[in-house]
Amino acid sequence: MIEQDRQIADVIAKERPRLRSFIRRRVPNDADAEDLLQDVFFELVEAYRLLTPIDFVTGWLFRVARNRITDLFRKKRPEAFGDEGLEDEEGELINLGDFLPSPDAGPEALYLRNVLLDELNEALDELPVEQLETLLAHEMERRSFKELSAESGVSVNTLLSRKRYAVLRLRDRLRQIYKEFQEK
């Protein structure tokens, strides 16, 4: 048991800086990043305690971290996206919240806003993990496909395809809700 504790401590000491940096590049909130780091190490301890064989510990840690980051983005309410800045064709900063009805515009607008956000949440939840991770990394984290490819070992063309299919699925899903509101 003491040997096992030493092994765990050695892995944590060795991998903590790289893993922390990896998570912080993807998670804008430092508190969330720190929580995720702790979750990853907790899962490592659990795996050791349950004698789960881990062949390549570093790769396993980063895979767990990616999964936790994806889980975090799935759990977060899309209202937080309203704070994210995007640029229009002229380079002007626009707010994603500008595309949604104002929550202060009355009960009907608030209802429509909540329906749209719920649909977006459900649509994101329905995406395959690879597509969701690629979409979030490229659109929310502003990471290049070349960078993602170098990190993951997946070709740029595959990453482009994953994002394309994610966008098509989201577009199709949101088009359905748009048509429903057009009919009302």
Q: Which of 48-62, 70-84, 154-168 has the highest mean pLDDT?
A: 154-168
- pLDDT given for residue 88 in this prediction: 45
**pTM over the 0.75 mark:** no
**80 falls in which pLDDT band (50, 70, 90)?**
very low
Tell me which DSSP letter residue 101 carries.
Answer: P
| Domain CATH for 173 | 1.10.10.10
Length of the chain: 184
| Residue 84 included in any domain | no
- In terms of domains, do 30 and 103 share one? no
Q: Indicate whether 83 belongs to any domain.
A: no
Answer with the residue of higher pLDDT: 72 or 183.
72
> What range defines the domain where residue 109 resides?
94-183
Residue 85 in domain: no
* pLDDT for position 175: 77
118 and 65 part of one domain: no
- Taking 70 as the threshold, does the pLDDT of residue 101 lie above it? no
Using the predicted structure, report yes or no on whether residue 171 has a pLDDT greater than 60.
yes
pLDDT tens-digit readout, 21-54: 888 888 777 888 888 888 888 888 887 777 766 7
Helix H, strand E, coil C: the string for 54-92 is CCCHHHHHHHHHHHHHHHHHHHCCHHHHHHCEEECCCCC
Average pLDDT, the chain: 76
Same domain? For 68 and 108 the reply is no
Give yes or no: residues 9 and 36 share one domain. Answer: yes
Q: Given a cut of 60, is residue 91 above it in pLDDT?
A: no
- Number of domains making up the chain: 2
Given a contact cutoff of 8 angstroms between Cβ atoms, the answer to whether 155 and 149 are in contact is yes
Q: How is residue 92 written in tokens?
A: 């002007």
Instruction: Classify residue 12: in a domain, yes or no.
Output: yes
